[in-house]
Every structure is written in structure tokens, then in C-alpha cells.
A = this chain, B = another copy of it.
């Protein structure tokens, strides 16, 4: 009874679902990607605008998703002997001023607290834009000897950076993240930490979120304010733009010198610690939406989906309750396999409405269960990634659920990977460069490393250097020599740089 499944291909999906999409009221991606995004975020109950300039409200579905992201990463940090701490949200203004590059980077974005109760403060506080400074200050009190090191710390919380144009998850003046902060007795150990975390982020994106990302180092102009070197993972959205999905910074001794984070070495000398910081924020939910979504709405990779299977009892007045009870039985069997499943028990809402709503929310698998199916011992199954329904024996649907979810997960990763590779162009002239960027592609090009040239490229094309892929990156890692696509000077880095427009 199994019908042939047709997995939805990105391009086909757009044309196929144009008409339907209008019914559900979501603008097709091809018409306006930005409108599509904003509508999906709101209608899928991920987030809403707030009365606070630039800040969003994470609604139940968005919050459930974020909690799953937090839980997975948190378990991994703990498994690697990292410890969570909780630092204050406020930072004394003078702390931000201590590291020169840091203050220059963050000053224009700071929220200032000038009053507590009726008392006007002599020294104002800022809402943390990031916590290197206050953590450096605390560490200076905690650190004595090399025996105390490493400090492997992180915290979950929110940070504040002014944003003029709000976009839920992507650009909000308050956003949610973990910030990792570690201190080490040697530069080598700190650098190994920075790479270990980058690799963990990569694994998380690939295996859990089905996001193919390029691991690489940032050019000097794109570094974090105050970092010695910055590494990132970059993903490609369905409109061809890049999204920086996570960063890991080697801070050298810059912050430890600014805050006196020093220790006695094994040979009784005094040295400043070598520090790192790293983060993944709630903007990764934006990456999930824009990498996998289609004109029907979200597509949740099963490994992160708060709900993996939705069961829809299809009955009429006289047998609806019975179908709900059958749905619950089926749900229990799926739950016993560790599947996250819900039964849609709402009465007085049409089946079509329910189908559309759960497709909009991107639930990986839908199972319909009607009285005739029950009689025949079958159920109707539809993957979110496919346009076809399948009629399966109930037993087959239950026993096959895990491999079905795995297949959807694999399909989403492959589809996103193919899309990224198909939309990345290797160029050797600036004209090709500009044309490719204009066409919404990433380009791989040689570059001199000159910051002024990067600035000029950005002015011409709105594209920036995303990163220089690492030698062990999964994509674009080839070592090559050449001349700069912009200046004709010898290329830096020994490989091509990824350029693209970014979120």
C-alpha cells in the first residue's frame, strides 16, 4: 500500500505551493523573502514584536525550540568539564572603557542605566553587550596559581546591543545566548579550546540542526572587538545570504592585562592568563528558519523539533472522541520509542486548518487516523518534506518511525548542503565577483588581506569576507596560491576567502 514518495526539491516547492501559500496567507519566498520570514515567525508562534524598541517576545514555540538548543549545548559543555556561572546583567561603565578596541566596538550600542530608585548614579552602569570585562574583573580575584587553571566557564542569559531595524531572532536589541569564557596557562591551550568549541558548534549545526556550515577564521577587519583571532561558522540562507551562526575568539592576553588576570607559574613567575570567549545566540533560530523553510512555512529538523510527530484524529461528531482515543494509543506507542509526539484534539476546527497549521510549524511527520483507516488497520502518513501522502499499515508506521525521522533529518542536511554548494561560485576577476554577489551567491576568491580593500569591496557590493575556511573544514578547505581578486596583489592566507552578503 506504500505509495512512491517524492521529496520536495527547493525550486519545485516554490512553484508548486504558490497558490496554496496564498490561502494560508504566507507570502512566497520568491515574492519577498523578508516578508515570508516575518510572517512565518509570527504565524508559527515563534515570536512577536514587543513595545520595547528592538526587542522581541519569544512565544511558546520559539521558546520550546530555544530550550532544546540550550539543553543540547549545555549537556555538551558539562560533559567537557565546563561550569556554568551567573554574572550580573549590569556592568560598571568604567569596565567597558578599559580595553580600547572593546569600547570602540560597543560604545554606539550601549544601554545606559543612570538612576536607581531616585538616586542619580555618579558612575552609570551599562546593560552587558557581552561579559568579558566583568568576568575578567572577577577572575582577577579568583586566580592565584597555575594550579587554579584552566577556568572553563560559561553562562546562559541575554545581552543588549542597540538595533535600529529589528528582525525577530536575527537583529534584536536584547538577544539570548550562552557566552563561554575560559582562562588558560598557555597560549596553545587557549587556542586548542577555541578550536574545540568551534568544532562542537560545527557538530551541533550539522548533526542536530541539519545546517551545513563553513568553519573558518575571520579576517582582521571582521574580528570581535578586542580579539586576537576570531573563528566562525557560516551558513547559507535560502536567499543566498550568509549567516554567522557561532563564533569562537582567542583573546590572547588583551583582556587579562586590562583586568589583571594573572597567576604564578610553575616556576614561580608571574604571568597573565590566556583567555577565550565564544557564543551561539538565538539568531541561530533565524538560520534554522531560513535554511529549511519553504512556502508552506517552517521545516523542523527532527533532531531539534520540539514536536516530531503530530497525530490528527479524523472523525465526525459521532466518532471523534473514539478517534482521539485511538490517536492517544498510537502516540503512546511512538513515545515509547522516544519520539516527541502530540495529538491534535481540537474540535470545531477543520482538518484542512490543522494540516496547514502543523505544516506552517514544520512538524516533520503528520499521521492522520480516520474511522475507515482504523477498520483497515492503516494510517495515512505525510512527511513535511514530501508532497505525497502514504498509506501504511499501523504496525509499519510505528516500527518505521525512527528511520523515517532519520531520513527526514538526512534529507534536510543534504538539501541545504547541495544548495550551499550550488550557490557558491569560484571567481578570479572582480567583474565575476560583483556579478556573482549581485546574483545572490557566495564567492570564493583570493584576497590580499588588506582591510582597506575589504572596505572598498563592501562599499561596491555589500559583500564582506565571511571567513577563511580552516584546513580541516568540511567545505572549501583547499590550499591554493593566487592573486587578489580586487587589488591584484599576492593573495594572503594560502587559500580562497568566502565572500557574501550577510545577515
Q: Enumerate chain A interface residues (CB-CB to B < 8 A).
A: 48, 50-53, 55-60, 62-64, 66-67, 83-92, 95, 107-118, 125, 127, 134, 137-138, 141-142, 153, 157-158, 160, 162, 173-174, 176
Contact = CB atoms under 8 A, between A and B. Distances in A.
B51 A89 contact: no
A176 B157 CA distance: 11
Contacts of A60: 83-85, 153
B134 A88 contact: no
A113 B111 contact: yes
A62 B67 CA distance: 21
A50 B138 contact: yes
Contacts of A62: 86
A62 B254 CA distance: 29
Interface on chain A toward B: helix, strand, loop, or mixed SS? Answer: mixed
19 contacts: A48-B138, A50-B138, A51-B95, A52-B134, A55-B88, A55-B90, A56-B88, A57-B86, A60-B85, A60-B153, A63-B85, A88-B174, A90-B174, A109-B117, A110-B116, A113-B113, A113-B114, A113-B127, A116-B173
B114 A112 contact: yes
Indicate the member of A85, A92, A107 with the most B CB atoms within 10 Å: A85
B50 A87 contact: yes
A84 B95 CA distance: 34
A107 B117 CA distance: 7
Nearest to A92: B51
Contacts of A115: 110-112, 114
B52 A88 contact: yes
A191 B67 CA distance: 29
Given A83-B63, A88-B57, A125 B52 contact: yes
Nearest to A58: B86
A151 to B, nearest CB: 10
A51 B90 CA distance: 9
Point out which of A87, A108, A116, A138 has the most chain B C-beta atoms below 10 A from its C-beta: A116
A84 B64 contact: yes
A96 to B, nearest CB: 12
A50 B85 CA distance: 13
Contacts of A153: 60
A108 B92 CA distance: 21
B88 A89 contact: no
Contacts of A158: 89, 157
Given A55-B89, A89-B127, A90-B174, 17 more contacts: A48-B141, A50-B134, A52-B88, A52-B125, A52-B134, A55-B90, A57-B88, A60-B84, A60-B153, A63-B83, A63-B86, A67-B84, A111-B115, A112-B115, A114-B114, A116-B173, A117-B162
A57 B110 contact: no
Contacts of A64: 83-84
A59 B157 CA distance: 15
Nearest to A59: B85
A89 B58 CA distance: 12
